[in-house]
Homo-oligomer: A and B are copies of this chain.
Amino acid sequence: MQPFPDSLTHLMRHVLKQHRREVDRLIHEYEVYPGQPPVLFRLCEQDGLSQRELAQRVRLTPATLTVMLTRMEKTGLVERRPDDRDQRISRVYMTAKGRAALDAVGGAIRSVEQRAFAGFLPEEQLLLRRLLMQMQHNLDTPDSLADE
């Protein structure tokens, strides 16, 4: 009857909140804020993306990213430079400070991950991934035929 209090997504949300808080607690001394790690990781893999490309890859709207990059530029993690062919585009590059911060952040995230999955068997992790991917797929498909 009452779907919420012990629904799986509710539980998931709570677990993620704990996770995020832990990571945040560990990284905010490097002037990296909660939403920023994905951006740093993407840039580490590939520097000089346009904001649009970057936004798509980290699944944020361009508007969100604009604000976030402005802050990250202010703390010196990241740098914007205009594209020299297309003047609408501004490309995002990581600074030395950004790279340094990323190392620390990576460590922090790994340690929280380890704690979160302590005692998990490898096949449990695989199964969890499979279930999550199925959820992702279910939610991606528009709606139609919800339960077949």
Chain A residues proximal to chain B, CB less than 8 Å:
2-5, 7-19, 22, 37-38, 41-42, 44-45, 59, 106, 109-120, 124-125, 127-129, 131-136, 138-140, 143, 146-148
A118/B131 contact (C-beta < 8 A), A5-B45, A8-B125, A19-B9 known: no
Question: Given the complex, which residues of B lie within 8 Å of A113, measured CB to CB?
Answer: 3, 7-9
Contacts of A7 in B (CB 8 A): 109, 113
Are B4 and A132 within 8 A (Cβ)? no
Report if A3-B106 is in contact (Cβ < 8 Å); known contacts: A11-B132, A128-B131, A140-B18: yes
Could you list 10 further interchain pairs (A-B, Cβ under 8 angstroms) beyond the known A2-B44, A12-B12, A18-B136? A3-B109, A4-B37, A7-B109, A9-B113, A12-B16, A114-B146, A115-B138, A117-B135, A119-B134, A128-B128
The answer to whether residues A4 and B38 also contact, given A14-B59, A59-B17, A132-B15 and a CB cut-off of 8 A, is: yes
What residues on B are CB-neighbors of A3 within 8 Å? 106, 109-110, 113
> How many Å lie between the Cα of A9 and that of B34 in the bound state?
14
A5/B59 contact (C-beta < 8 A), A13-B16, A138-B119 known: no
CA distance A140 to B128 in the complex (A): 20
